[in-house]
Structure 1
Amino acid sequence: MTDIHKSFGQVQVLTGVSFDLKPGEIHALMGENGAGKSTLMKILTGIHAKDQGEIIYKGKTTTFKSPKEAEKAGISVIHQELNIIPELTVAENFFLGKEKTAGKTGILKNKEMNEEAKAWLMELGIKLDPKKSAAECSVGQQQMIEIARAVSANSEVLIMDEPTAALTKKEIDVLFNVMNGLKKKNVAIVYISHRMEEIFSMCDRITVLRDGASVGTRVIKETNFQEVVKMMVGRELGEQFPERKVTPGKVRLTVEKLSSSTGVKSASFDLKEGEILGVAGLMGAGRTELMRALFGADKSSGVIQIEGKTLKKPTPKKSIRAGMAFVTEDRKGEGLILNQTVRENLSTAQFNNISKWSLMNSKKEQATAVELIERLRIKTSGPEQEAKSLSGGNQQKIVIGKWLATNPSVLILDEPTRGVDVGAKKEIYQIMNDLTARGVSIIMVSSELPEILGMSDRILVMHEGKVTAIMNRADADQEKIMTAATGGE
């Protein structure tokens, strides 16, 4: 791809970007959120049309008119946002758009599809019933269905956009084995990820984009973490985690023997003023379920007290009134209204503050949106841009922003930096520090142990729905957390 330009209206997204890919290499494509990585790949696969530039594929100048055309030519994509239809089975999702039918009748060959889907999943080391509804699968399992589907297309080029964001350590190991196998078969892989350790362990070369332009390409063995970060953000980033200077105060939230129908078993803990309580555990340990029970999104039993007042029969509405806010893990499904504007999304949790007698105060709504956009450094053309057209990291900032507008005393963050670049991560960490300095109490669920250790004052560990350990950061390390997360003493 040479000298690729792309604008959406007045917003210039790509300016003369160049990128090349060799057979049998894993080429990392990095950059901050909004740098243009996903847009570049969407141009390659025919989702967007380029404004100017040239694409040469296997020696011929090429322009694909649709992803299906690109896939026929041997280019498959695993998108960051999952393209799974929950109502369909695992096998039906696997064969989506290329269903096996009996002649021209349109009748599905379900048995054949089930067997073939199962065989491909087994090859990737995934035991999953092909007849199971996709809605019953975890986010990680849904991701593996997409990966198996792309691998099964016998592609010559495979584009992976944040493929490990929702995967467990075991699933990531399986994926890396698959990638190494594909590499030996001369498949070229474009690997988009914010996880530096994955880039340096798996990739051969790295190309960095910044603000829609190519910054440069490096051979992985000839570069390092600091150089890549500097290329991405245009400056030295310093320490990955900002220093925490907040001393937690008195207990604000008390939870006793909280259980839920979703598998939380008699969880007890407390949370102090200005504290960050990290919640660690393997996928399926019940971390999100505990947060949903605490917020009143799932039915629960037990005692929840905020500022000494018991929350009876908790519901999200009661929790919000009590000063609680919940940034959910699934920003696309639960955090945003994608076809609404940035302004409208930033208003969704704070109607009481910006309305009177059910009438919206537009000036107040606009002023709040502008303030949050500046405060959180949301990259947008303005408050009226649709949320769906923003990068994943900027969408995440909107979800955090809409809850900050409610001035919560207890803020639950479930995977707050998933799919967020290294520069934006540090900004989110700084926001967390600023909030705790003002006395806000934070519960942070994270699958990344360095993040848990780098940002938490105390760490709560879960295993199979139970709290197995609560430890001070000074006493914690990765080994102790993993021991408790796997049910060990």
Structure 2
Amino acid sequence: MLEIENLSKAYGPVQALSGVSFSAERGRVTALLGENGAGKSTLVKVLSGLISPSSGEVNLDGSPVDLSSPERALGSGIAVVQQEISVLSNLTVAENFLLAHSSRLLNRRRAADWCKPYLERLGLGRIPANAPVSDLTIGERQLVEIARMLAQDAEVLVLDEPTAALADHDIELVHEAVRRLASENKIILYITHRLNELEEICDDVVVLRNGQLADRFETQDASINRVVHAMIGRELEELYPPRVEYSGQRPEPIVRLEGVTTDDLVQPLSISVCPGEVVATCGQLGSGLVEPLRAISGISETRSGKVYFGSANGKARSVIDGVAYCSEDRQHDGFFNNRPVWESLSAPALAATGIWGFVSPQRMRKSVDGIAERMTILPAYRDRQVSALSGGNAQKVSIGKWLSNDPKVLLLEEPTRGVDIGARAEIYALLRSLAEEGMAVLFASSDLDEVLGFGERVLIFHGNRMVHEAPTGELSRDTLATWITHGGLESR
């Protein structure tokens, strides 16, 4: 087994890990849970040899593991598959394998023969080793990442949120691979924010909180309340805030799409969103679920049809027309990663907070403090670089920056991807309060539980067209899954 004993890591006065001890057995999948900032990332960096612990040790099958460098950690049998997929899409599968074995000569035929058994072990035997990675689905790329770690004789696989960015079909591919590896007597540490994965593939659960071991139990003894209490140190009264019941008619739509097509929509789309409404678009990755948001914001060019914003006719423009858009890639365009939080929060309102064309730092900070309070971003975090924040706080910055412009429509792609359960509850509560104040909220999500729990109405996409629309209260999880995977054919 893998034994972690009294592991600690300090950064000056900050104790990222404090006396963490637990074990993970061969042939079992051990879930590693915790809020963003709980110490999971630090533990992963220690196990991968990227950082050295302040104290403690790690043993594999009774022998100490050399974690002094990534090469020695891997040589000791510990491989880490990071959340961000690192296989290179411009190379073939075999060439990506060779990147992890720089000592091998580049012989494509031999490389293909060499990596084929590892691909077969993860259910990828149908994929030619000389196939470009760009031809693979995101889930298949994730499996290639895991397979090339197996090729380095790894006995311990640390999987850091391997399904965070995957659709249901690709998630099942990863789950099947994880089960297969456990059956081969590997040691699996599985980091996830998807609590439904505990029951689906995990045998044991380890929970970290504030850098310490908060709880450890078998999955069969787990309950959502126990897991959440261990993660956040308190009972979570509700994850999804109650929906608002309307007795009369809703106000006129604030945004309408009539017969709209884009390069990624194969069928004209007509939808509307009213002030105070929370509407979800749902589907698998590449199904067209994000196209309504991108057509409204003007990111996707409309090939036909009309976008009506209020009484206006034409393309909506984010800042001018009161439309705020948050893409799914917050690291790329959600904020200034290496600048202080307050700069990102104030960026959309520079004109409003300036004087005669000059920026006023005092007025900027005053406006930012009000937004940060509403987003529950603590004062101590507001001068930090966004890159130093947890995933939940970073997402709050990505959303909160638009509040300075008092938008009428808020568009969000995957609003809680990679966000822990405590921060998710805070984000849902904030978005619900914005809707109650009259803002229209339209979000795209591939998380079925999020769609059913938070949305009031859902627009379902399959094959780059909308196939169904219904109040979420009329849909079960199974029915929704059937619509998004088969276009609803099995439910008719």
TM-score (norm. length: structure 1): 0.89
Structure 1 pair 368/35, CA: closer, same or farther in 2 (3 Å)? farther
Q: Which amino acid aligns with 1:230?
A: H
Q: Which amino acid aligns with 2:57?
A: E
Cα offset, 1:277, TM superposition: 0.8
**Within the alignment, does 1:239 sit opposite 2:242 as a pair?**
no
2:123 corresponding residue in structure 1? 125
Cα offset, 1:188, TM superposition: 0.5
Whether the 8 Å CA contact 2:65–2:76 is kept in 1: the answer is no
User: Could you tell me which of 8, 28, 31 is aligned with 2:11?
Assistant: 8
Whether the 8 Å CA contact 2:452–2:473 is kept in 1: the answer is no
Alignment of 1:14-33 (within 5 A): 14-33=17-36
SS of residue matched to 1:20? strand
Structure 1 pair 101/387, CA: closer, same or farther in 2 (3 Å)? same
2:465 corresponding residue in structure 1? 466
Distance 1:292 1:91 in 2: 36
1:429 corresponding residue in structure 2? 428
Distance 2:380 2:149 in 1: 34
Q: Which amino acid aligns with 1:435?
A: L
Q: Deviations over 1:244-276 (max 9, x none)?
A: 226453210001122222345311100000101
SS of residue matched to 2:185? coil
Distance 1:93 1:283 in 2: 24
Distance 2:346 2:255 in 1: 26
Distance 1:367 1:134 in 2: 48
Structure 1 pair 300/131, CA: closer, same or farther in 2 (3 Å)? farther
1:409 corresponding residue in structure 2? 408
Whether the 8 Å CA contact 1:461–1:467 is kept in 2: the answer is yes
Distance 2:279 2:212 in 1: 39
Whether the 8 Å CA contact 1:246–1:274 is kept in 2: the answer is no
**Within the alignment, does 1:218 sit opposite 2:220 as a pair?**
no
2:286 corresponding residue in structure 1? 284
**Within the alignment, does 1:179 sit opposite 2:178 as a pair?**
yes
Q: Which moved more, 1:38-47 or 1:112-121?
A: 112-121
Structure 1 pair 264/32, CA: closer, same or farther in 2 (3 Å)? farther
Alignment of 1:333-344 (within 5 A): 333-344=332-343
Q: Which moved more, 1:429-438 or 1:132-141?
A: 132-141
**Within the alignment, does 1:446 sit opposite 2:449 as a pair?**
no
Whether the 8 Å CA contact 1:207–1:216 is kept in 2: the answer is yes
Whether the 8 Å CA contact 1:75–1:156 is kept in 2: the answer is yes
SS of residue matched to 1:350? helix
Distance 1:349 1:49 in 2: 41
1:206 corresponding residue in structure 2? 205
Structure 1 pair 378/75, CA: closer, same or farther in 2 (3 Å)? farther
Whether the 8 Å CA contact 1:143–1:166 is kept in 2: the answer is no
Structure 1 pair 311/162, CA: closer, same or farther in 2 (3 Å)? same
**Within the alignment, does 1:251 sit opposite 2:250 as a pair?**
no
Work out the percentage of aligned pairs sharing the same amino acid: 34
1:293 corresponding residue in structure 2? 295
Q: Which amino acid aligns with 1:482?
A: A
Structure 1 pair 293/205, CA: closer, same or farther in 2 (3 Å)? same
Q: Which moved more, 1:356-365 or 1:253-262?
A: 356-365
2:73 corresponding residue in structure 1? 70
SS of residue matched to 2:18? strand
Whether the 8 Å CA contact 1:345–1:398 is kept in 2: the answer is yes
Q: Which moved more, 1:198-207 or 1:119-128?
A: 119-128
**Within the alignment, does 1:56 sit opposite 2:54 as a pair?**
no
Q: Which amino acid aligns with 1:66?
A: S
Q: Which amino acid aligns with 1:194?
A: H
SS of residue matched to 2:351? coil
SS of residue matched to 2:430? helix
Whether the 8 Å CA contact 1:208–1:215 is kept in 2: the answer is yes
SS of residue matched to 2:23? coil
Whether the 8 Å CA contact 2:121–2:180 is kept in 1: the answer is no
Cα offset, 1:417, TM superposition: 1.2
TM-score (norm. length: structure 2): 0.89
SS of residue matched to 1:164? coil
SS of residue matched to 2:238? coil
Q: Which amino acid aligns with 2:48?
A: T
Distance 1:129 1:259 in 2: 36
Number of aligned residue pairs: 480
SS of residue matched to 1:474? helix
Q: Which amino acid aligns with 1:283?
A: L
Distance 2:401 2:128 in 1: 39
SS of residue matched to 2:319? helix
1:105 corresponding residue in structure 2? none
Distance 1:91 1:263 in 2: 34
SS of residue matched to 1:55? strand
Q: Which amino acid aligns with 2:201?
A: M
Q: Which amino acid aligns with 2:274?
A: K
Q: Which amino acid aligns with 2:241?
A: P
Q: Which amino acid aligns with 1:234?
A: G
Q: Which amino acid aligns with 2:480?
A: I
Structure 1 pair 331/75, CA: closer, same or farther in 2 (3 Å)? same
Cα offset, 1:22, TM superposition: 1.9
Cα offset, 1:63, TM superposition: 4.3
Distance 2:416 2:79 in 1: 27
Whether the 8 Å CA contact 2:33–2:206 is kept in 1: the answer is yes
